[in-house]
A and B are shown apart, each in its own frame.
Chain A
Amino acid sequence: MAASKTLGERLREHGVSRRGFLKFCAATASMMALPPSMAPAIAAALEKARRPSVIWLSFQECTGCTESLTRSFSPTVEDLILDVISLDYHHTLQAAAGHQAEAAREQAMKENHGEYLLIVDGSLPGPDANPGYSTIAGISNYQMLKEAVAGAKAVVAVGTCAAFGGLPAAAPNPSGAVSVMDIVKDKPVINVSGCPPVPMVITGVLAQYLVFGKLPELDEYHRPLAFFGQSIHDRCYRRPFYDKGLFAESFDDEGARKGWCLYRLGCKGPSTYNACATMRWNSGTSWPVESGHPCLGCSEPKFWDAGGFYAPLSAPLGSPGNTLLAAGIAGAVVGGAAAAMARKRAAKAETERQPVKIDELEQKL
């Protein structure tokens, strides 16, 4: 429930120094592509921000997104911002269970109607699917989302499952899974995709909401441009090796040891838009490409169905070799038949030929 203390007061209570707080504000400003002069304004706005009520719904998900958020090495300002938002319902993190938990959700929805931020992780069985695939307290995900969205100011879909359907929606999608965006049409939806998303991106979106009281600028997939505006490839520290044509060809060859480009090992960095390359993971320790593994493209739609994780981006899907062979054989048969028919026609013309002598022709004339 929205408490009376401001964010600034709460951060000081938690022992976050002024310097640490300002550093976070400066980082937030740069993440949002704002000029550095905006950092004090962000600090001032965050200081005064009241705890907004947040309701977090978890549907068809693996809890990886929540794990990502809570495993961001503490104590960070990001952690504390999450501490000081009023997370009124999160069935993994909250102490309450069963009826009490659902009662807390209903109370928060009632008290903050029209004001609360709804965060969703996980996809949900669509309106036409069997609702029994995923329920909470006997309520279908679809019904719970519809009810919660009605009083929400905005919806943040955290993780690729909530944003694009993710793993549950991968072919053949047995549970008829859909994304939040597929259902919610009348409220702003912000997609913070990734499997899981970078924790600081989640808190960055929340910080922006607290500071400016409005939602960030979004790309065509409803992702905040500040974090998803550039591709992994364009910000990758291994990019010079791609430009020079120096590639690792296996995970333990000379190229891999020298840190060359991972394109040939299946890196989806060129087609993936996310902030991993700049923000990195585990408090800026490293990120997949830095640890020698190609980008899986986890923040993009349909990433489970986009071919093998270790197949290069340019490799075809399916088995075109067989197509080529089958069509080639069919073509050879067609060509053979056409040639045989032409020969037959020529032979027939030869047998039916009726020679005429000149004097016969002259007689006729």
Chain B
Amino acid sequence: MSDPMGFLLWVKGPALDGALAIFALGMLARLVEIFMLGRKPNYAEPKGGEWGPGFKTILTRSVTDPGTFARAPFNVVVGWIWHLGFLIALLLFIPHIELFKGVLGIAWPGLPNPVVDAITAITILALIATLVHRLQHPVKRRISTREDYVVWAVTFLPLLSGYLAYHRLVNPYPLILGLHILSVELFLVVFPFTKLTHVFTAFIARWYNGAIFGRKGVES
């Protein structure tokens, strides 16, 4: 592990296994607990279904309402840009698809490298903008906790190191590739214990919202 190639093999092997284990254990523990605790039984007569309105709300709540947009256009626009950019870089870069194939055994078509590269550059800039905005906005700065900055950093580092690795801006290459993989492992390790869990819980919460309203026969 003392040389770049040894380091790369370590992050691709034991370190990846460890990070995936912490991620899966932590995330499954949280999700199963959420589902098993469930909600209090509602004895009132249902006025409508739960499943349909639940899934509908997952979609409708993903689209920002005009009021929120008017109040915080930066949050909406930059938030959408970097979330989409992050997902594209993660899921549609061909070397990443090969990684998913290696872990999950499934693959899908990817985007040409220059397209992913451009999207990654935009995503990096958007993430920097969110940090600057957070630091400059008096209210946001006040309500930001240490966890917010940790979450920002572990999200930003994989993008930055991936960009540096793709453009081969750090020599030797095994070192920067290893650092990129290590940054993703850091992301996976902190994931179940921070607000990064919103990747899963946001959709569960939206479903519950829709389901509650649906049962009452109200549109959400």
Interface of A with B (CB < 8 Å)?
Answer: 219-221, 231, 233-234, 242-247, 263-264, 270-271, 273, 300-302, 305-307, 311-318, 320-321, 323-332, 334-336, 338-340, 342-343
Contacts and interface: CB of A to CB of B under 8 A. Distances in A.
Nearest to A305: B9
Contact of B24 (A245, A246, A328): A328
B104 interface: yes
Nearest to A312: B98
A338 B94 contact: no
Given A312-B95, A316-B16, 6 more contacts: A311-B102, A314-B96, A315-B98, A331-B26, A340-B36, A343-B36
B82 to A, nearest CB: 22
A251 B15 CA distance: 32
Contacts of A245: 94, 110-116
B5 A315 contact: no
Contact of B36 (A246, A307, A315, A336): A336
Nearest to A325: B24
Interface residues of B, number: 49
B118 to A, nearest CB: 12
B162 to A, nearest CB: 11
A222 B30 CA distance: 50
B144 to A, nearest CB: 29
Contacts of A301: 3, 5-6
Contacts of A338: 29, 33
B28 A335 contact: yes
B27 A321 contact: no
B35 to A, nearest CB: 8
A57 to B, nearest CB: 25
Interface of B: 3-6, 8-9, 12-14, 16-17, 20-33, 36-37, 94-96, 98-99, 101-105, 110-116, 168, 172-174, 177
Contact of A339 (B17, B23, B32): B32
B113 A264 contact: no
Given A314-B98, A335-B36, A338-B29, A302 B173 contact: no
B13 A342 contact: no
A325 B101 CA distance: 15
B29 A331 contact: yes
B33 A306 contact: no
A318 B13 contact: yes
B172 A302 contact: no
A324 B24 contact: yes
Contact of A327 (B16, B21, B114): B21
Contact of A270 (B17, B25, B102, B173): B173
Given A231-B173, A315-B99, A339-B33, A323 B94 contact: no
